[in-house]
Amino acid sequence: MSTIAESARIHPMAVVEDGATIGEGVKIGPFCHVGSHVILHANVELLSHAVVTGRTVIGKGTRIFPMAVVGGDPQSVHHGGEETTLTVGANCTIREGVTMNTGTADFGGQTIVGDNNLFLANSHVAHDCRVGNHVIMSNNVMLAGHVVIEDRVILGGGSAVHQFTRVGRHAFVGGLSAVSYDVIPYGMLNGNPGLLSGLNVVGMTRAGVDRAVIHRVRRAYKSIFEGTGSVRENAAAIREEYADCEPVVHILDFIAADSDRALSSPTRGQKG
């Protein structure tokens, strides 16, 4: 049996299946479809023709626009119909035609999206992804399975991220870029193949990072990618020098962490 708050407004031409939980102030427009295992928290709004299905939880204040399909089965040949989940945080905007899938049983069964994110038209979040907070995915951005997008990343229109790839906080990925390898925090990646082209200084400035700190991050970046050793060796060598610089520590920790993918660099994947 559904649990529907008294203040919820459901258009008579919408379908809310038995078992759904509909919170206070929720608005469900005409021709929407809400599945039986869906939870919509307070003040969620579904405009017309939106579909929320599967074992999906939508955080308070999130808006879902027409033709979006949120909570569909993972697009994986290994999915056998297991009851996996999708969790979307608060105050997200999910525009027209966006698709988000639940997880796969072999990898914990969870796709998780954070708060205050903007997903523009026809962008896609695949199974088992982890998307942080304040992320912007522009039109037609594609995340393959198991991708990790950290906080305040911006992904330009038409960019595609390879499965199991990580994109660090405050990174910027240019439009139509192919992200085949991990992108460091505060990095800027462009092209196909995607090459690291420096730091997202505009994003750092907008985030309130002090100019002197930005200069230190630039020096660290140069030491990491232009030093005589490998990237990991260069990063380890400067850790003590930059122990008091939080953005650099974010970069060093990201480089040191285990990953299924190599690191993007100014040259990796560049054709002869």
What is the four-CA torsion angle of 19, 109, 56, 82, rounded to 10 degrees?
Answer: -40
Q: Would you mind telling me the total number of residues written for the chain in this entry?
A: 272
In three-state secondary structure terms, 113 is strand
* pLDDT number for residue 268: 84
Exposure string (b/e) for 65-92, b if CB count within 10 Å is 16 or more? bbbbbbbbebebeebeeeebbbbbbbbb
Taking each helix axis from N to C terminus, what angle separates 211-226 and 246-256, rounded to the nearest 10 degrees?
A: 30
Residue appearing with tokens 């003040």: 43
Every domain of the chain and the residues it spans: 3-146, 205-256
Q: Rounded CA gap, 32 and 47, in Å? A: 7
HEC letters along 187-238: EEEECCCCEEEEECHHHHHHCCCCHHHHHHHHHHHHHHHHCCCCHHHHHHHC
Token pair, residue 77, equals: 């040949």
What is the spatial order of strands in the sheet that 21-22 belongs to?
3-4, 21-22, 39-40, 55-58, 85-88, 110-113, 130-131, 148-149, 166-167
CA distance 158 to 122: 10
Q: What is the pLDDT of residue 272?
A: 41
Would you give per-residue pLDDT tens digits along the chain (272 residues)? 789 999 999 999 999 999 999 999 999 999 999 999 999 999 999 999 999 999 999 999 999 999 999 999 999 998 999 999 999 999 999 999 999 999 999 999 999 999 999 999 999 999 999 999 999 999 999 999 999 999 999 999 999 999 999 999 999 999 999 999 999 999 999 999 999 999 999 999 999 999 999 999 999 999 999 999 999 999 999 999 999 999 999 999 999 999 999 999 999 866 54
**Residue type (1 letter), 28:** I
Looking up tokens 């700190």 gives 213
What architecture is domain 3-146? 3 Solenoid (2.160)
Q: Are strands 195-199 and 172-173 parallel, antiparallel or unpaired?
A: unpaired
Catalytic residues: 127-128, 145
Give SS3 for 72.
strand
Q: What is the pLDDT of residue 271?
A: 56
- C-alpha to C-alpha distances, 168 to 133, 151, 183, 265, nearest whole angstrom: 12, 8, 6, 14
User: SS3 for 247?
Assistant: helix
* Entry pTM: 0.97
Asked if 111 and 103 touch (Cβ cutoff 8 Å), the reply is yes
Q: What is the pLDDT of residue 70?
A: 99
Pull the structure tokens for residue 149: 């997008």
